[in-house]
Homo-oligomer: A and B are copies of this chain.
Amino acid sequence: MMAKKRKARIAKAKIAKARTRRAKGRKARTLPGRRNRRSAEDKLAELKARLSEITDLGSAGALLEWDQATYMPSGGAVARARQGALLRKCAHERSIDPALGKLIDELTAYADDLPDDADDAALIRVARRDFEKAIRVPVEHVARVNALGSASYDAWTRARPANDFATMVPFLEQALELSREYAGYFAPYKHIADPLIDDEEEGMTTAVIARLFAELKRELVPLVHAITKRPPIDTSCLRGVFAEGPQLEFSFAVLDRLGYDRTRGRLDKTHHPFCTTFSIGDVRITTRVSEGDIGDALFSTVHEAGHALYEQGVDATFEGSPLASGVSAGVHESQSRLWENVVGRGRGFWVHFYPLLQRAFPDQFAATELDTFHRAINRVERSLIRTDADEVTYNLHVMLRFDLELALLTGKLRVKDLPEAWRAAMQAYLGLTPPDDRDGCLQDVHWYVDGIGGGFQSYTIGNVLSAQFYAAAVAARPEIPREIERGEFGTLHAWLREHLYRHGRKFTPAELIERATGRPMQMAPYLAYLRGKYGELYGLPAASSRGA
């Protein structure tokens, strides 16, 4: 999971206020020897230096986490928690420094004079958004969130195996209260979830997501229904014994082909795969190898590589600044999913890579047809666990969680009633009932660490955008699918770098999507992708693959 992104639009009122300040500033400039005689260039340099320190403290903290997840001996855990908290504190102190706010205010007039798409104007805008988000939240609130998160996670690691939801009720109640408090710092809002969503997806609202999800649900539920009436795909070819060494070698071969730059990153093993960025020159991914499941390492590697291609592709001149990062959780997720699902589970990808896989694991795959393998890695199945879900039903798991989060935040659902509400929602979305809370509302770590409003929606926004971006890339460069069959990803990668990656956080998510695809976020490309791919895989009649 990527770190939360925080960006804010500059309110019209703020700009007006800044203009007033600017006029004052100009007047003051006529007085010699005053501090505010410093040129805007000097101030901009100071702003960049301050922002670089905040970024770098975050990166140092990220290295502490990477090390903890990869190589740290168990004896290091206690001190590591203390050290990570200290770096967060140092970064937070700097991010709410009134001198930083003053500098941003003083530079707003300067930014107004720059062309709209000037990098420095974007930097000042993003700095303002981050600063204004940071200062609205009291330090003691942040401390309570962190303390609760640690205690709650600790309890959850025991409660889930014990199927003990009751223990988690007080933690979740406090988490819910903290989420409401957090939203309150950004009042007034149209919906209490809006401030939480805006942290992940600048400018996105509960209302927009609810409309989007309603449309998706209308189409997906009948599609899943139609698929599951067909004979299930045989996935037995994916099970066997796959030695770790060749699995990792194959992953490296794929990474190199995709264009992941290993001189600016590396792949290591961990329990829960992730991508992390220490600088544009050091974007690392981790994977998990299961000797009994060929897909685990492979697809988690490609998924994280998608995140990493994004971060490695940011304009090098943004290094050390808050622009040097993906623009939102949803757009980030669109890249992990574009590479993992649209590309990596596509038939064309395996036209090139399947012969290599057969050579790596001849006992397993020598006698298995490409189509058998390709069907197996795309099997759709209603299941209880989100992280095991295929790309079609995955969205139902997300929407279910989003619904429950809204019900909790608005007070329509009480925490103690969550297990029952979960079971009802599972029936409605997937026609399944979990046998216990372990595979029900205790399954995801998110609520128990990040609190309620943890950003599940970004996964489905990512799915939707993955198809929209891929369709735009193919419309612009129709040779992409044929190139993928030859194991060539340069044209696709270059299009994504040009239209998405290099911009980092320079534009808002909405601006970026519109610039890249000519349209706002929309559902049509994703639905067309799902209907096309799964209609063919499952031999669905055109009517049912188009939805009821």
Q: State in angstroms the CA–CA spacing of A523 and B79 once bound together.
A: 40
Residue of B nearest to A94 (CB): B90
Contact in complex: A79, B281 (CB < 8 Å): yes
Which of the four size classes fits the interface of chain A? 35 or more
Q: Are A75's CB and B320's CB within 8 A?
A: no
Q: Report the minimum CB–CB distance from A281 to chain B (whole Å).
A: 3
The interface residues of chain B lying within 8 Å CB-to-CB of A52 are 82
- Is A59 positioned at the interface, with any CB of B under 8 Å from its CB? yes
Q: Secondary structure of the A side of the interface?
A: helix
Q: Does A104 contact B (CB under 8 A)?
A: no
Which of A64, A79, A262, A279: most chain B CB closer than 10 A? A79
Asked whether B63 lies within 8 Å of A67 as measured between CB atoms, the reply is yes
Q: Are B279 and A73 in contact (CB under 8 A)?
A: no
A83–B90 Cα distance when bound, in Å, is 13
Q: Is the CB of A320 within 8 A of B86?
A: no
* Chain B residues whose CB sits within 8 angstroms of the CB of A59 once the complex forms: 79, 83
Q: Are B263 and A74 in contact (CB under 8 A)?
A: yes
Q: Is the CB of B282 within 8 A of A80?
A: yes
Select the residue from A53, A63, A72, A78 with max chain B CB neighbours within 10 A: A63
**When the two chains form their complex, are residues B83 and A60 in contact, meaning their CB atoms are under 8 A apart?**
yes
Q: Which residues 490-531 of A have a CB within 8 angstroms of B?
A: none
Contacts A64-B60, A83-B56; is A77 near B281 (CB within 8 Å)?
Answer: yes
Are A76 and B320 in contact (CB-based, < 8 A)? no
**Residues of chain B contacted by A57 (CB below 8 angstroms):** 86, 90
Are A76 and B279 neighbours in the complex by a CB distance under 8 Å? yes
Q: Are A79 and B266 in contact (CB under 8 A)?
A: no
Give the residue name and chain of the B residue nearest to A284 (CB). Answer: B73
> Which residue of chain B has its CB nearest to the CB of A324?
B79
* Residue on B nearest A66 in the bound complex, by CB: B67
CA distance A78 to B324 in the complex (A): 15
| Contact present for B79 and A278 (CB under 8 Å) | yes
Is A176 interfacial (CB 8 A cutoff)? Answer: no
Interface digits, A34-68 against B, CB 8 Å rule (1 contact, 0 not)? 00000000000000000011001101100110010
CA distance A76 to B264 in the complex (A): 6
Q: Select one of B75, B87, B282 contacting A72, CB under 8 A.
A: B282
- Chain B residue numbers with a CB within 8 Å of A78 are 279, 281, 319
Q: Give the contacting residue for A282; candidates B56, B73, B87, B282; CB below 8 A.
A: B73
User: Which residues of chain A in 253-298 are interfacial with respect to chain B, using CB atoms and an 8 Å cutoff?
Assistant: 261-266, 268, 278-282, 284
Residue pair A320, B281 in contact (C-beta under 8 Å)? no
Residue from A52, A71, A265 whose CB has the most chain B CB atoms within 10 Å: A71
Question: What residues of B have a CB within 8 angstroms of the CB of A76 in the complex?
Answer: 264, 278-279, 281-282
- How far is the CB of A254 from the nearest CB of chain B, in Å? 18
Q: Which residue in chain B gives the minimum CB-CB distance to A84?
A: B60
Please determine whether A71 and B266 come into contact, CB atoms closer than 8 angstroms: yes
Q: Tell whether, in the assembled complex, residue A263 and residue B75 are in contact, meaning their CB atoms are under 8 Å apart.
A: yes
Q: In the bound complex, what is the Cα–Cα distance between A278 and B82 (angstroms)? A: 11
Q: How far is the CA of A53 from the CA of B64 in the complex (A)?
A: 15
Which of these, B86, B262, B320, contacts A53 with CB under 8 Å?
B86
Task: Determine whether the beta carbon of A82 is less than 8 Å from that of B60.
Answer: no
Bound together, the chains give a CA A82 to CA B64 distance in angstroms of: 16
A320-B63 in contact (CB<8A): no
Contact with B along A350-386 (1 / 0, CB 8 A): 0000000000000000000000000000000000000
A319 touches B79 (CB 8 A): yes
Residues of B within 8 A of A63 (CB): 63-64, 67
Contacts of A75 in B (CB 8 A): 261, 263-265, 279, 281-282
Cα distance, A278 to B75, chains bound together (Å): 10
A539–B200 CA distance with the chains assembled, in angstroms: 76
Binary per-residue interface labels of chain A (300-330) against chain B in the complex, 1 for a CB within 8 Å, 0 otherwise: 0000000000000000000110000000000
Q: In the complex, are the beta carbons of A80 and B278 less than 8 A apart?
A: yes
> Closest CB-CB distance, A309 to chain B, in whole Å?
14
A67-116 with Cβ < 8 A to chain B:
67, 71-80, 82-83, 86-87, 90
Which residues of the other chain, B, contact A86 by a CB distance below 8 angstroms?
53, 56-57, 60
Docked CA distance A86–B56 (Å): 8
Q: How far is the CA of A53 from the CA of B8 in the complex (A)?
A: 32
A532 to B359 alpha-carbon distance, docked (Å): 62
Interface centre among A52, A80, A82, A83 (most CB of B within 10 A): A83
A281 CB contacts on chain B under 8 angstroms:
73, 75-79
CA gap between A218 and B268 in the complex, in Å: 54
Q: Which residues of B contact A319 (CB under 8 A)?
A: 78-79
CB contacts (< 8 Å) of A53 on chain B: these are: 86
**What would 9 A/B residue contacts be, using CB atoms closer than 8 Å?**
A56-B83, A59-B79, A60-B83, A63-B63, A71-B268, A73-B281, A74-B263, A75-B261, A79-B281
Apart from A76-B278, A76-B281, A79-B281, 15 more pairs, CB < 8 Å = A56-B82, A56-B86, A59-B83, A60-B64, A60-B86, A63-B63, A71-B268, A73-B262, A75-B279, A79-B278, A79-B282, A79-B319, A79-B320, A83-B279, A90-B90
6 residue pairs, one from A and one from B, having the closest CB atoms:
A79-B279, A76-B282, A75-B264, A75-B281, A56-B83, A56-B86
